[in-house]
Chain A
Amino acid sequence: MATSMVLGQVLWDSLLYRYRSLVTFSGTIVAGFELGNAFDWRDFTSFRVPTGTSTISLTLPLSLSGSVSIDSFVMWCVSNGTGLNLVATLKKNGTTIGTVTAGATSGITWNDLSPSVTVSALDVVTVVFNNATGSTMDIRQISFGPKVTFPIGQWSGINPPTLYQGVVVENVFSVNGSIIGRNIRRLEKQGSINLTHLAESWVRTTWDAFIQNVARHAFFYRWNPVGYPAEVAFAAADQINAPTNMMPPPLMQVQLGLKLITQ
């Protein structure tokens, strides 16, 4: 059991999505599995990586003021009946800054970049895929950018998203009382982010920007980066409650209901 405070993390600010109109790809596109599906924040579309080496390129626009710190590189891959063997290498101006190797089965892999890398206008960020096996490799989402680590822990109410979730079971009885069938309905994975005793300034800057984004888009959520760093969920806001003040002032509390998908 964890004895210290668990600080959850989210990655919502994807540079690929933010500058999606500037993204290019070197390989062959499969109709229906277009490149844009890889960073559209949707769980039902996917991008098919061709065999061999191919590259996603993003040249950051001149209009980018200041710099952006990239500290996370997340990839959600789908197995199509064959073991995955896809290596994605993140580079800044040709220099490797991070690598994600997809696991043997479908799932989300979150790679922390340490140290983080700062990029600014006209920098070229690339993701180089090496699909050596020639198997069909689909990427549901790929994202890199600055993660948000919550400043306060959440002691209870967390639903570890990779655990077996709720199921509604209905037994079907015949007129004479025999069980003749059973239907099940898997409940959606749900969770919530409940943070209390937050500094007012953090809520007004970091949280508010996050919430404005998640009202429209999904994001990646890691509930326990220390104890269970592999338990990453693709999350979508279910209910966003307004932040409120709490005692003692000027502390604040926030609450966000979630739908969670792990694969």
Chain B
Amino acid sequence: MYNENVVAIWAALLVSAVLGLGLYAVVAALERILVFWGAEQ
């Protein structure tokens, strides 16, 4: 797929970046819940 279509590489990069951002957001939300004494600054 990637050899034939350069756009597909960018599509995979984009999806990977968005999902990585989602994972980061989940952990950041967890941090806000767990570290309540450190999150409010």
**Do A and B belong to a common assembly?**
no
Residues of A within 8 A of B (CB): none
